[in-house]
Amino acid sequence: MNDIQLLSMKKAFEEVKRRQRQNLPKIGDLDNRLKRLKDVRERSVGNKKLMDAAIKSLKENGFNVFFAEDSSKAIEIIKKEIGKERLVVKSKSNITKEINLVKELEADGIEVVETDIGDRLIQLLNENPSHPTGPAVHLSLNQISSILDKKYGVRLNGPKEIIKFLLKDVKESIQKSKIGISGANAITAEGSILVLHNEGNIFEVANRPEKWIIVAGIDKFYPNIEEAINSAKIQTFYATGNIVPSFIEIISGVSKTADIEKKLIKGIHNPKECTVILIDNKRKYLIENGYKELFHCIGCGNCVINCPAYRVFGEEFKGGRFALYSAFYEGKSNLKLCLSCKRCKKNCPLEIDIPKMISNAREGSEIYNFLLSHAKWITRAVYLEFLSLYYQIMEG
């Protein structure tokens, strides 16, 4: 992520915070909802009885359910589920990024087309995501237009033309594909899958004629649909500033009918088959060794939006909970750059103590880390502030 992209990202984050301030009065019961969610996450994460009940219900509802202890096993199962198909479409999913799904499938000759506009954009431009729900917020309109022009020889003016260009190949791929892959925002003990989206692409991904593959971590369980929806509303507000997303899908099995003599017949409409792949990938180990709170996270990314270190260091320190994820799963995020300012905890809807976990995970004395991080941060922050002023003067 270069300096211009960091400035673009900062601008986008300020817009989200503006919408949060604007819409906060519309949620009169936010404190009660947060208390409910915090209690539910505490009781649900690492709860084997809840997970077993959910798996049983999923199977009874017609889902195929597989368990993967790590990313390599998850990839193996997904490849087996895809079978001989060479094209799949997928929606936005942080856990598929965690297991490096797209690259693993492409290495095996399977074309994967992202259907979310932001994810498709960074896929085509070979960029890395900058936010869990807004992966392309670090790219300005001018940057996107310029890169697409250089790479594809197309001159696109404005967001509508860019989206039209991106949608063309996405829709063509959707029509050709027989298999869709998505993540899940929640899985309930009743055997229901809950997925949030704004673009409507989940409709297309989930309704491929042959199979819908849902990939989720073992931290996604909730006791019931009501608590999962509460989580969905809170995630939406803190991720985007909006009160509710455009769509909240609740899927409780394959299509079925009992219109003739009340005899249950499954597989009436697409998809013919639904598969859920539950992934551990160090979760159980981390939950049992001092990092359970990390998996209370609902993935809203508000910690990232409010992280001053991420704003100046970019991918070197990914911000909030995602800095820990990057360190644990990729070995990339430099935890020494954490400022210990506790803004991630303050702005987390669940008050997850990320600073404490970062302190426990990083090496060296806290005084040394504090001085090092602040010295580097001040240097970068001042430089970026002057750069921002320079561009403002140049623009007018």
3-state secondary structure the chain: CCHHHHHHHHHHHHHHHHHHHHHHHHCCCHHHHHHHHHHHHHHHCCCHHHHHHHHHHHHHCCCEEEEECCHHHHHHHHHHHHCCCCEEEECCCHHHHHCCHHHHHHHCCCEEEECCHHHHHHHHHCCCCCCCCCCCCCCCHHHHHHHHHHHHCCCCCCHHHHHHHHHHHHHHHHHHCCEEEECCCEEECCCCEEEEECCCHHHHHHCCCCEEEEEEECCCEECCHHHHHHHHHHHHHHHHCCCCCCEEEEECCCCEECCCCCCCEECCCCCCEEEEEEECCCHHHHHHHHHHHHHHCCCCCHHHHCCHHHHHHHHHCCCHHHHHHHHHHCCCCCHHHCCCCCHHHHHCCCCCCHHHHHHHHCCCCHHHHHHHHHHHHHHHHHHHHHHHHHHHHHHC
Give the model's pLDDT for residue 360.
Answer: 92
Task: For residues 239 and 133, give the distance between their C-alpha atoms in angstroms, rounded to a whole number.
Answer: 7
Task: For residues 52 and 339, give the distance between their C-alpha atoms in angstroms, rounded to a whole number.
Answer: 40
Asked if the model's pLDDT at residue 267 lies above 80, the reply is: no
In this prediction, residues 69-77 reach a mean pLDDT of 97
Give the model's pLDDT for residue 331.
Answer: 78
Q: Is 60 exposed, middle or buried (0-12, 13-18, 19+ CB in 10 A)?
A: exposed
Give the model's pLDDT for residue 396.
Answer: 62
Give the model's pLDDT for residue 24.
Answer: 95
In this prediction, residues 329-352 reach a mean pLDDT of 92
Asked if the model's pLDDT at residue 239 lies above 80, the reply is: yes
Adjacent-strand bridge partners of 114: 90
Instruction: Specify the higher pLDDT residue, 273 or 266.
Output: 273
In this prediction, residues 304-325 reach a mean pLDDT of 92
In this prediction, residues 204-229 reach a mean pLDDT of 96
Task: For residues 217 and 318, give the distance between their C-alpha atoms in angstroms, rounded to a whole number.
Answer: 20
Q: Give the confidence band of 195 by pLDDT, cuts at 50, 70, 90.
A: very high
Percent of the chain with pLDDT over 70: 99
Give the model's pLDDT for residue 243.
Answer: 93
Asked if the model's pLDDT at residue 345 lies above 90, the reply is: yes
In this prediction, residues 175-204 reach a mean pLDDT of 95
Give the model's pLDDT for residue 192.
Answer: 97
In this prediction, residues 128-156 reach a mean pLDDT of 89
Place of tokens 């003739």: 260
Q: Which CATH homologous superfamily contains domain 3-281?
A: NagB/RpiA/CoA transferase-like (3.40.50.10420)
Give the model's pLDDT for residue 229.
Answer: 96
Q: In this structure, what token pair is assigned to residue 167?
A: 């949608």
Q: In this structure, what token pair is assigned to residue 251?
A: 């899927």
Asked if the model's pLDDT at residue 265 lies above 90, the reply is: no
Task: For residues 305 and 198, give the distance between their C-alpha atoms in angstroms, rounded to a whole number.
Answer: 20
Task: For residues 304 and 28, give the distance between their C-alpha atoms in angstroms, rounded to a whole number.
Answer: 25
- Integer Rg of the chain from CA: 21
* Core vs surface per residue 372-385: b (16+ CB within 10 A) or e: ebbebbeebbeebe
Taking CA atoms, 172 is separated from 135, 151, 369, in Å, by 23, 20, 51
Tens of pLDDT, residue by residue over 24-33, are 999 989 999 9
Instruction: Specify the higher pLDDT residue, 266 or 60.
Output: 60
Q: Give the confidence band of 132 by pLDDT, cuts at 50, 70, 90.
A: confident
Q: In this structure, what token pair is assigned to residue 337?
A: 């750059």
Asked if the model's pLDDT at residue 157 lies above 90, the reply is: no
Asked if the model's pLDDT at residue 230 lies above 80, the reply is: yes
Percent of the chain with pLDDT over 90: 76
Lowest mean pLDDT among 79-88, 213-222, 249-258, 288-297: 249-258
**378 contacts: CB under 8 Å, gap ≥ 6:** none
Q: Where in the chain is the domain with CATH 3.40.50.10420?
A: 3-281
Lowest mean pLDDT among 115-119, 155-159, 182-186, 253-257: 253-257
Give the model's pLDDT for residue 390.
Answer: 81
Q: Give the confidence band of 393 by pLDDT, cuts at 50, 70, 90.
A: confident
Task: For residues 333 and 315, give the distance between their C-alpha atoms in angstroms, rounded to a whole number.
Answer: 7
Give the model's pLDDT for residue 326.
Answer: 87
Q: Give the confidence band of 79 by pLDDT, cuts at 50, 70, 90.
A: very high
Give the model's pLDDT for residue 201.
Answer: 93
Give the model's pLDDT for residue 240.
Answer: 94
In this prediction, residues 39-47 reach a mean pLDDT of 97
Asked if the model's pLDDT at residue 82 lies above 80, the reply is: yes
Q: Is 126 exposed, middle or buried (0-12, 13-18, 19+ CB in 10 A)?
A: exposed
CA–chain centroid gap for 265, Å, is 35
Asked if the model's pLDDT at residue 384 lies above 80, the reply is: yes
